[in-house]
Chains A and B, each alone.
Chain A
Amino acid sequence: MKSSKDSSLSFRKPMVLVLALVAVSPVFGVVLADMVGYHEPLDVAAEQLGLKDLTDVTNWTPFLDYTMPGLPQEIGYVIAGLLGIGIILAIGFLLRRLVKPVETKKSNT
């Protein structure tokens, strides 16, 4: 990043880990979920009350449930992950340009 190696933060290793998580995500988010059935405790509670999920009725995105139109689910899941991460990082880098470096910090805990 900049000047002192001790104080500056490097994000290369964390980003490698993030990309590795996305690479294996279809195993957990698609393959195993399809095998066992993805069913969160929230679904259990909502079922008991008879609450109705309106996601399909009110949907506005072509990427619903981390899918990509026209692509197999596993590949779409990875691309959806990369898309989400790309947008998050883009927002972070945009914000970075807007803020000044923090040099003097108050040390009250």
Chain B
Amino acid sequence: MHIPDGFLDILTVVITYTIFVVYGVYALKKARTELGAEHTVLTSVLSAGIFAAQMLNWPLPGGTSLHFVGGAVAGIILGPWLGFLSLFLVLLIQCLIFHDGGITALGANALNMAIISVLVGFFVYRMLVKAFGTGNSVKFTGAFLGGWLGIVLAGAACGLEIGFSPAFPYGVAITVPVMVAWHALLGIVEGMITAFTILYLINKAPKYMLSEKGVIV
């Protein structure tokens, strides 16, 4: 899902960087009210965990691979603002230190993984819990759907971004279906990992669930 340098045209780079910067500044402003010392460390520890989990590529028969993204996990645990910062920290280190994801594509990668997948995960989970109650099965389903839909929509956005190239006028007609179809399938694993992680934390270590404690706006 990490777009490298060379895949995006200049207009897409400018648009995605603009969205990322505007959202990032707003998220930082909102997060300042939540960034106590412990929450700051929790955010970075979750970033470290997501960074490590993303290093585990799961090769699938047929030659396609996937790795856990973790946007929904961050969104559900930390809420949308700290969740954004947590994922962005991962993407920044991956880009600058390991060149995993291009510098020209950092805005797009942040938009897909730190904004879309985090927001979708957070809101889908929150909506289901609000509508159907706080039982474990509801939370499990909410986390699963949040993880799955977050990755599918992030994949769709990624398809739009690489498909919008002036050199390929019908690019999105190819890239969006490919990205959505594959991520709808691969997203099942993302959803399952998200659901089991959230259910475990809620039952065994609820103190880490900032969004459950009413800390998050």
Question: Which A positions have Cβ atoms within 8 angstroms of B?
Answer: 1, 6-9, 11, 14-15, 17-19, 21-22, 24-25, 28-29, 32-33, 35-42, 44-46, 48-55, 57-61, 63-66, 77, 80-81, 83-85, 87-89, 91-93, 95-96, 99-103, 105-109
Q: Are B61 and A88 neighbours in the complex by a CB distance under 8 Å?
A: no
Contacts of A29 in B (CB 8 A): 55-57
Task: Give Cα A106–Cα B39 distance, bound, in whole angstroms.
Answer: 15
Q: Are B65 and A38 neighbours in the complex by a CB distance under 8 Å?
A: yes
Which of A18, A24, A41, A59 is within 8 Å of B45, CB to CB? A18
Q: Are A33 and B59 neighbours in the complex by a CB distance under 8 Å?
A: yes
Contacts of A8 in B (CB 8 A): 38
For this complex, 17 residue pairs linking A to B, each with C-beta atoms less than 8 Å apart, are A7-B207, A14-B49, A21-B49, A25-B56, A32-B57, A36-B63, A40-B1, A55-B102, A57-B6, A61-B98, A63-B97, A63-B99, A80-B98, A89-B45, A95-B44, A102-B33, A102-B36
Q: Tell me which of A17, A21, A54, A63 has the highest count of chain B C-beta atoms within 10 A of its own C-beta.
A: A21
Closest to A50 in B: B168
Which of A40, A57, A84 is within 8 Å of B51, CB to CB? A84
Q: Check B89 for interface membership: any CB of A closer than 8 A.
A: yes
Q: Which B residues between 27 and 70 are near A, CB-CB below 8 angstroms?
A: 32-49, 51-53, 55-61, 63-66
Interface range, B side: 35 or more
Shortest distance between the CB of B91 and any CB in chain A (Å):
11
Contacts of B4 in A (CB 8 A): 53-55
Closest to A27 in B: B56
Task: Give Cα A21–Cα B51 distance, bound, in whole angstroms.
Answer: 10
Knowing A39-B63, A53-B7, the reply to whether A46 touches B45 (Cβ < 8 A) is no
Task: Give Cα A85–Cα B60 distance, bound, in whole angstroms.
Answer: 27
Known: A9-B208, A17-B49. 11 other contacts (CB 8 A): A29-B56, A29-B57, A37-B65, A51-B7, A55-B4, A58-B102, A64-B99, A66-B55, A81-B55, A85-B52, A100-B36
Task: Give Cα A103–Cα B38 distance, bound, in whole angstroms.
Answer: 11
Q: Are A61 and B59 neighbours in the complex by a CB distance under 8 Å?
A: no
Which of A41, A59, A89, A108 is within 8 Å of B44, CB to CB? A89
Task: Give Cα A66–Cα B3 distance, bound, in whole angstroms.
Answer: 16
Q: Are A21 and B53 neighbours in the complex by a CB distance under 8 Å?
A: yes
